[in-house]
Amino acid sequence: MRNSDRRETSLTKRAVDALTPEPERYTVWDAALPGFGVRVTPQGAKIFIVKVRIGRGRSAQQRWITLGRFGPMTFDSAKAEARAALARALIGQEPDPRPTIDPLDMLTVEALCQRWLERGALRSRGAGARFGQLRSPKNILIDKGRINAHIVPLIGRVRLKDLQRRHITTMRDDIARGATKKIEYTKPRGKRVVGGGDGTATRTVRLLSSILSFGVREGLIDANPAIGVETTPDKMRTRFLSKEEAARLGEALRTAEDQGVHPYGIAVIRLLAMSGARKGEIEGLKWSNIDEGTGHIRLAMSKTGPRLIQLTEPMVAVLRSIPRVAGTEFVFPAYTLDKPFHGVPQAWKTARALAGLEDVRLHDLRHSAASFALANGVPLEVIGRLLGHRDLKTTRRYAHLADEVAKVAAEKTAAIVQDLFAGKSRPNRES
């Protein structure tokens, strides 16, 4: 037994209230009722326990009983249960099966994941997140899919008290080599593809680490074994349109419109390119979100929580060209009076092919909006606000573009000064 477990005092409710967490778990025993104590975890959880011996003499076997957590269980009821357990043990009666099984000892990774989905998933996670900020249902659904597809099949049955780093690294490697890849048929005409690879493994380990951190905060485990597990850095594939490519895409959109591509798809693509918004933010837009008076699109929920998108005149012109469909609040409903709208991918595929931009993703329009803003001297902090980034570190991926803009400006400035020093004059315009 560690020295930190040999503390003894006269336990009272006030004494238990005063106990504070320390770097290591410790136990304080009651001097008035030997065997009764309270265990304090580094996260501040206080759990009543009682240590008994069944029968008398040297052959008496020792049992540890978890009574309950301080808060849900009062001090007086815990002490009363401890007295009853000690009395039963003296006459050789085995403890009741219910209290002898510590629920914390039996809790599995799968059970913790389920508890996190019920109590912790709604709140933000990640290095750039403000703790407590609400997350979108879509992101929670993605996390649930990763839990069911990767975490539960591979380590779901492992008890939390037995979970070690080796379990997590093995899970990571199994996902990376495709051990959990499969195709699920979710409905008669639908399917869900569960992928693998380094990227999926990295994102799953990060999700598990967030869930385990939740377990630490809840006092279910003392430490997060996922901390320090090596992962493959995300491949930040960032493609930007040049001015010439943007012009080609604009021409392709006009051609696609003439060819009968659904106008909703064309409109969504134009709004994405103009605003730098995310696909889901525009595709799921409601008329009630559009506030022309203040010049904003107001979203109660986005990937990073509530968000305002600047509403510009070109965007207003696109929105005004879309007829409102009776009986729906959505700007781009699935069904119109003439033909159904099946989403943006088909329209994007057609426009991309017409423009000869087969390597460009729809999401790259968001990156391109940032690059055009930088080229016009907009600071990174402002671009972060325009894109709805929660943390400036996310916007830093565009820093190299800002450096290029600064380099061009520096070259022009140096050339002007050089000419002035040489007695030459330059026209007051850009070359």
d(CA 368, CA 365): 5
pLDDT of residue 186: 60
Of 224-228, 359-363, 417-421, the poorest mean pLDDT is in 417-421
Query: What SS3 state is found at 112?
Result: helix
Q: Which of 60, 83, 78, 53 is nearest to 68 (CA)?
A: 78
Mean pLDDT of 159-171: 92
Tokens 């904003």 locate to: 296
Instruction: Locate 177 and state its tokens.
Output: 């080599």
Contacts of residue 2, defined as CB under 8 A and 6 or more positions apart, other chains included, come to 24, 26
More confident site: 378 or 266: 266
Q: What is the pLDDT of residues 188-242, one digit of tens each?
A: 555 667 778 888 999 999 999 999 998 888 878 888 999 989 887 655 566 788 8
d(CA 311, CA 317): 10
CA 352 to chain centre: 31
pLDDT of residue 425: 65
pLDDT of residue 90: 80
Q: What is the pLDDT of residues 296-327, one digit of tens each?
A: 888 887 766 678 888 989 999 999 998 888 88
Q: What is the CA radius of gyration of the chain?
A: 31
Q: What is the pLDDT of residues 8-19, one digit of tens each?
A: 889 999 999 999
Mean pLDDT of 37-42: 90
d(CA 405, CA 371): 10
Is a pLDDT exceeding 50 seen at residue 128? no
Beta bridge partners of 52: 63
pTM of the entire predicted model: 0.52
User: Strands 307-310, 26-30: parallel, antiparallel or unpaired by DSSP?
Assistant: unpaired
Is a pLDDT exceeding 70 seen at residue 134? no
Mean pLDDT of 47-71: 80
Q: Which of 52, 53, 50 is nearest to 37 (CA)?
A: 50
Is a pLDDT exceeding 60 seen at residue 96? no
Mean pLDDT, the chain, whole residue set? 81
